[in-house]
A and B are shown apart, each in its own frame.
Chain A
């Protein structure tokens, strides 16, 4: 089984305010808030990426061990997908 590439949902307006990413989903009118590592992961999702690649970037930039980085990344991707903020665009 291949890996999934996730990407941002196209119906979002996002603003960077004091280091936080504030997102507005214009389909639902709901606002969301990402901080710290969440903002870092959100940036990577602009061009689409897999959980494994994102976790590697998190481990490198936040001085985390690979296992923790992957667990945290998967948790955030799950939450983002559950809220419809990211979509699966391909499997590689």
Chain B
């Protein structure tokens, strides 16, 4: 049989620490001002990667074995050289995914992208409400709702798989059903989320927008996906002496390159392997002491390994790192949410 199921491919590649999927934070600039944004410092663009930097980087990523590239930001369309960068990416042999707020997409850009539609797996668009009032209470940008809806419709018409992602928080939680309906009518893939993380610079005021339990319970299902077993596994893969191969893909098969060129294990774990402007991607990926140390961590080092909900709950170590400054701690926000699904935590007997 020639077909290789995804989980088998993952197992094959994870053992070799072969990068498969890289997220590119094209820019931290953004034209909106969302309440929950974890970036902070969107105007700080010193050292931003240029089209010339990407021209050097992309062939190294391809040669290292990367298949999929996701573009994110900020809003990636705010990069001043975005058309050159998109041209480079579309001429390269990657399977692309785009994450956007949609407001800067015009018909010309959609037509340009549509000429390469086969190479673009999906376009994820953030939508926070089914009305301008609700959506803009999050984006704090008048007119953004109309532009985002127009982008969703242009993309759908051009034949893209549009994935609508809605973060629900105190100011828009009562829109959940209407957002679902809006997506159902348009035949769009749709996913809710409710995890609000502190900003990368440590600022925590957005945490006040987290939904209390009584509201979380009322949200239409499914509204979270992090407890799904996205990598099929054997129970033994989660024994305390095992590495995180079956749990988390960071620095194993996936990584993140921030807008300045720092290669990170994931979008929220600020532990750079080095900078791709200074050293080739593949050398950083394989030789970095930080990445190699992450690859050696054992499940038993993590507080979650002693919880009765693990590994049904397979929480994000990055979130613990961002919120508690320590990836080994249980991410309390995930505990709070998972307990709504699965009941109180039981501590595993040693």
Contacts and interface: CB of A to CB of B under 8 A. Distances in A.
Interface of A: 11, 13-15, 17-18, 22, 24, 26-27, 29-34, 38, 79-80, 83, 85
Given A17-B13, A22-B9, A26-B121, A32 B94 contact: no
Contacts of A22: 4, 9, 65, 67
Interface in B9-53: 9, 12-13, 16, 18
15 contacts: A13-B67, A13-B95, A15-B62, A15-B65, A24-B67, A26-B118, A26-B121, A29-B121, A30-B3, A31-B3, A31-B5, A31-B6, A31-B9, A33-B9, A85-B2
Contacts of A29: 121
A46 to B, nearest CB: 13
Contacts of A80: 2
Nearest to B15: A18
A24 B255 CA distance: 19
Given A22-B9, A30-B3, A31-B9, A13 B93 contact: yes
B65 A27 contact: no
Q: Is the interface of B mostly helix, strand, loop or mixed?
A: mixed
Interface of B: 2-6, 9, 12-13, 16, 18, 62, 65, 67, 93-95, 118-119, 121
B252 to A, nearest CB: 14
A80 B3 CA distance: 10
Nearest to A30: B3
A79 B228 CA distance: 33
A17 B121 contact: no
Contacts of B67: 13, 15, 22, 24
Given A13-B93, A17-B18, A26-B95, A34 B2 contact: yes
B118 A32 contact: no
B18 A33 contact: no
Given A33-B4, A85-B2, 11 more contacts: A11-B118, A13-B67, A17-B65, A22-B67, A27-B118, A31-B3, A31-B5, A32-B2, A32-B4, A33-B12, A83-B3
A26 B161 CA distance: 13
A32 B8 CA distance: 11
B2 to A, nearest CB: 5
Contacts of B93: 13-14
